[in-house]
Structure formats: structure tokens, C-alpha cells
């Protein structure tokens, strides 16, 4: 099999696990590629590994192995957004809602190498920025598109349409538009519901809305969502999966809808979505 090993940070623990994974794969004669920036951080020399850039990921890669937390997996997802390459996440971070394996990854990893896994497809958001001069930019998000105030002392006014119909004019710190996958990320902290990742729906969650009656709204994945700043001199920041940031103003219209792309995640039955919820959110456990 052919694997690309992905990461963007290194410490003693990450390097230790990385070397163990590498030894396992080399001993089984798999073809291995390592992201150049990750190789530089790890500061290792391993002649059996091909060092590549993000643009050189082979199209016939079997898996990308993401070593880190959810943020690491999200960065890998951005790299293969338009390629059907499955991602296997090994969680060395904190929560790890997107990853399949934890720090005790060895038994699960062995099963995966023997073919005991399945692939889950996750919705991706297509976020198109429509500028006043007619130019456009398209971005993709596995988790969420977040619009936040640029000025820490001022609220922002956002007008949101679902198709041709006005949903609401929000006065708030911002707005989170998330996939079902992203419902356990920033949207959860802002009071949104947990969504089954297989749903075809988009969640709109206000951030600290100035009206107590405003609540998160779930809309069908068939709809286009249009957002713009509703006061002429407003400025805000737009974030894609917490990383890809743009400065925006009232001259811009944002259109969000489900993308035709899907991210493929490698999943094992022992670590299902509902199992993760129970364990990571400590459901059913009494406080002491």
C-alpha cells in the first residue's frame, strides 16, 4: 500500500509515535511519503521515505495518515479536498472527534492494515466569496465557515438569506455555519446541537447574539445560504476550518452550500461517532 504521513507540529511524544508508525510500515514493505514541512520539524533521516510537498501527493495514495489532533486532520483535508484520498487520523491532541485512533493506536492500526475498516464520507461546504467588482473566490470547509467581528469592542450586523428568503438579521459577535462534522467543534461551544455526521444539513449558529430569543437553525443541504454585512462601514473576519482567514466588508456577499466534494475518513467500528460522544464528553458519568 501507499501512505502519506501528515503533520504540522512536533514534540517528543509526536516524534516517538511517528517513529513507531514508520517502523511498522517499513517492516511491511509499504511505500511511504512524508510531507516536507513535517520532515523538517521531526529532523530525521529515513532513506525508505520519500519527502514530498503538499502539491506532490500521489493520486493513487491509499491513505493519508494524520498524526496530531483534529487541527492536523483538518489541514490534511484541505490538501486533498478535491481528491478522493481517505484520511486516517491518529489523535495525539485533546478531543479528537475527527480521528479514528487514539494514543493506544497499535491494535486498531494493525486491524486497518489488514483491511478491517470502512470509509465514511463527510459533507464539505463550498464557500464562494462574491466581490463587488464581479470577481469570485471559492473556499472549502470540512468543519465550518466562521464570520467574526474584527473589532473586539463592536458587534457586527449580519443579514442571512436561505435561498431568496430572509432568515434573520443578526446582531452578534459573529456567526458559525457548519457541517454535521463541524457540529462538535466551535458550534458546540456556541450552544449548537450535536449532529450525526451522516446528515445532509447545515447548521447556522450565532455567536453571543444580542437577542436572547435567537437560536441555532438547521437547514436542509439543498439550500443556498447567503450572508452579507448589513451596515456599510462594517468589517469582519472570515475563517475556514479555523485556519484560512479573509478580511471582509459590506461589499462582499458570501454564498455557502454543500460541495460536490466529500472528505473520506478511515473509520473502525470500535471507535464510532456515538462511542466518541460518550467517552469524550463524559456522558452518563457522575461528577465527583
- Domain boundaries, given as residue ranges, for the chain: 2-117+268-280, 124-260
pLDDT at 288 over 80: no
Least confident of 117-126, 194-203, 264-273: 264-273
What is the average pLDDT across 257-284? 89
Q: Is 175 helix (H, G, I), strand (E, B) or coil?
A: strand
pLDDT score at 287:
64
What is the average pLDDT across 191-213? 95
Give pLDDT tens digits for 167-184.
999 999 999 999 999 999
Given 23, 62, 70, 196, which residue is catalytic?
70
Least confident of 20-24, 71-75, 282-286: 282-286
> Helix axis angle, 12-27 relative to 106-113, nearest 10°?
30
Mean of pLDDT over the chain: 93
pLDDT at 189 over 90: yes
Residue-wise DSSP of 217-244: EEEETTS-EEEEESSTT-EEEEEETTTE
Per CATH, 2-117+268-280 and 124-260 having the same topology is answered no
Give pLDDT tens digits for 80-102.
998 889 999 999 988 889 999 99
The reply to whether the predicted model has a pTM over 0.85 is: yes
pLDDT at 146 over 70: yes
Architecture (CATH level 2) of domain 124-260: Sandwich (2.60)
pLDDT at 214 over 80: yes
pLDDT score at 153:
81
- The H or E element spanning position 16 is helix 12-27
pLDDT score at 43:
86
Catalytic residue at 241? no
- For the domain with range 2-117+268-280, which CATH number is right: 3.40.190.10, 2.40.50.100, 3.30.420.40, 3.40.50.10330? 3.40.50.10330
pLDDT score at 267:
93
> For residue 216, what is the DSSP state?
-
Separation between Cα atoms, residue 69 and residue 8, nearest integer Å: 10
Give pLDDT tens digits for 41-83.
998 777 889 999 999 999 999 999 999 999 999 999 999 998 8
Reading phi first (left if > 0) and then psi (alpha if -120 to 50, else beta), residue 146 is in beta
Q: How confident is the model at residue 232 (pLDDT cuts 50, 70, 90)?
A: confident
Amino acid at each position: 500500500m501507499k501512505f502519506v504521513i501528515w503533520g504540522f507540529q512536533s514534540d517528543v511524544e509526536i516524534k516517538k509515535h511517528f517513529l513507531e508508525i514508520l517502523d511498522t510500515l517499513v517492516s511491511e514493505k509499504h511505500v511511504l511519503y512524508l510531507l516536507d514541512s513535517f520532515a523538517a520539524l521531526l529532523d530525521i533521516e529515513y532513506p525508505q521515505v520519500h519527502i514530498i510537498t503538499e502539491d506532490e501527493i500521489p493520486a493513487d495514495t491509499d491513505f493519508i495518515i494524520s498524526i496530531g489532533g483534529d487541527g492536523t486532520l483538518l489541514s490534511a483535508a484541505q490538501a486533498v479536498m478535491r481528491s478522493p484520498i481517505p484520511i486516517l487520523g491518529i489523535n495525539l491532541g485533546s478531543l479528537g472527534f475527527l480521528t479514528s485512533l487514539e494514543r493506544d493506536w497499535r491494535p486498531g492500526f494493525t486491524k486497518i492494515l489488514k483491511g478491517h475498516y470502512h470509509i465514511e464520507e463527510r459533507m464539505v461546504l463550498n464557500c464562494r466569496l462574491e466581490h463587488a467588482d464581479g470577481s469570485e473566490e471559492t473556499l472549502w470547509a470540512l468543519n465550518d465557515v466562521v464570520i467574526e467581528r474584527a473589532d473586539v469592542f463592536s458587534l457586527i450586523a449580519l443579514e442571512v438569506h436561505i435561498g431568496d428568503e430572509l432568515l434573520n438579521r443578526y446582531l452578534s459577535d459573529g456567526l458559525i455555519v457548519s457541517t454535521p462534522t463541524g457540529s462538535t467543534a466551535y458550534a458546540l461551544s456556541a450552544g449548537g446541537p450535536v449532529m450525526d455526521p451522516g446528515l445532509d444539513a447545515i447548521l447556522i449558529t450565532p455567536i453571543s447574539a444580542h437577542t436572547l430569543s435567537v437560536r441555532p437553525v438547521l437547514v436542509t443541504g439543498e439550500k443556498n445560504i447567503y450572508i452579507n454585512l448589513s451596515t456599510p462601514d462594517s468589517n469582519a473576519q472570515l475563517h475556514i476550518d479555523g485556519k484560512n482567514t479573509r478580511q471582509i466588508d459590506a461589499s462582499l456577499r458570501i454564498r455557502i452550500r454543500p460541495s460536490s466534494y466529500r472528505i473520506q475518513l478511515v473509520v473502525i467500528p470500535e471507535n464510532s461517532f456515538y462511542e466518541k460522544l460518550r467517552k469524550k464528553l463524559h456522558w452518563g458519568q457522575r461528577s465527583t
